Structure 1
Amino acid sequence: MATTAVSDFNAAVSSSGGPSLGDAEFQFLRDFVYRHCGIALSEQKRQLVQGRLLRRLRALGLKDFGGYCQLLRQDPDAELGELASAISTNVTSFFREMHHYDLLVDELLPRWLDEKKNGGRVRIWSAGCATGEEPYALAMVLAEALERTGSKVDARILATDLSPQALEHARAGMYALDRMGGISDERRRRWFLRGEGRYEGYACVHPRLRELVTIQPLNLLHDWPMRGPFEAIFCRNVVIYFDKPTKQRLFGRYAGLLEAGGYLFLGHSESMHGLSDEFDLVGRTVYRRRAV
């Protein structure tokens, strides 16, 4: 084999045994992901992107990244969710950042249910719901508050995500028992049905929780069909992927959907400092929209 041929061959194959992500393909993917997902990929993410997208190439029967880029050019929307799923990390759990739920239980839900008791409604949005742990945890505390107060308020939770795999998992509402460590024994008994037979080792969310949660696909950078207003929006561990201008636009759009005095919950490593003058910090990663 000629030296040139060996060099070309080595350039086309990665250390993992698959095709290598070339400069032109990586630059295209960086531009594409930023334009459609708001995620800014640095050069340091190149190996991560290559490794994660190799599985998509195999699933699609593509021989190289050039073919994958061509697929994105031809039909961006068809593959966008799969691409976003591959390059982002959906780390979630039930009752993660418990202080947020404590605020809901101790203060916010009782106040909202009382204020809306004469025909009002309560709406909470889980933006970036991943595999569903967050919205179902919200549904538990909401259902308990409704039962405790005897309220007939029309209360619901909207759960959205870009990832089709995550949404499929969320809709199934089936979770391995070893992923339910954040749920108290009392809540496990009340809100989950234990699996049997081939579902041994799993638990399924109670039908009552499903009644409270609507799960829909949504790209936060695209148009939003809902009009609000929401009492609260949970957008936790999502904006860490975005650059400053994208965060600013997103926070402005959230403010437009929250009622005056509504709440925005961010992740533990996220902050709105210097990004918006429409919110006040009122707790650990809890922001309240200023009254107009």
Structure 2
Amino acid sequence: MHILTTQAQMQQAAHDLRRQSRRIGFVPTMGNLHEGHLSLIRLARQHADTVIVSIFVNPTQFGPTEDYAAYPRTLDADLAICRREGVHLIYHPPVTEIYPPDASVTLAETSLAQTLCGAARPGHFNGVCTVVAILFNTIRPHLAVFGQKDAQQLRIIRRMVRDLAYPIQILASPTIREPDGLALSSRNRHLTPPQRAQATVLHRALTLAQANFAAGQRDPRQLENDMRQLIQQAPDARIDYISIVDDQTLAPLTAPITRPALAALAVWIGQPRLIDNTTLTP
């Protein structure tokens, strides 16, 4: 497994791989890898000859009140995991390699990013789109894998690939969960034992929405209210948003649901902010 740290190295490696007719699968990460990331790597391995993983904590997707410096850096453990999973190449650049000191160009998605986490974290998806575009341009993958847990991000990246004509296939990997339903996240490790027990309320709320929907409830406001009432029973829960939106446009739904919808929520359990989602299909 090779570890590259500069754009020049990475671009040369990508050029050589393409000359060898190798199909490149790419998994972008910020490190601190867990089983959810491994599912992305394994899916990439199924569809590509060469798997490249980036490990880069992207400063531009952190807001002014979000602690970029505190994000866990676990490079040695991440490299061991990638080696074990058969990753061929790691791209681990310093910040100055991605963003020169006088960098002045960014990308902005102006439709899908207006709701959910885009509304709660202004500028977040501008940072995501910018860094992913830079990584795509550097690595030139044939395909890239993103998780369905970050449903809004997945849709925004697909829109970016379409609108900017990237010849890249975007694969979606299902959300990986603990046995009690909690979606795997790097933030879970910051939960205290009592908070960890309470955190299952996110999945339970989505399961309730699915059950009510299957029983015939089509009023998005009622579905949201039912989820809210359940989550509020957790003493350390503080709701950022609970929203049912159109599955494609991510626009909030107010009329009875007649087409696929996305039930999405973001909830603080103590300090960690957790997200989860599920689809509701008539």
Question: Given the two structures, how large is their TM-score scaled by the length of structure 2?
Answer: 0.29
Question: Given the two structures, how large is their TM-score scaled by the length of structure 1?
Answer: 0.29
Bigger Rg, which one: 1
Higher helix share: 1
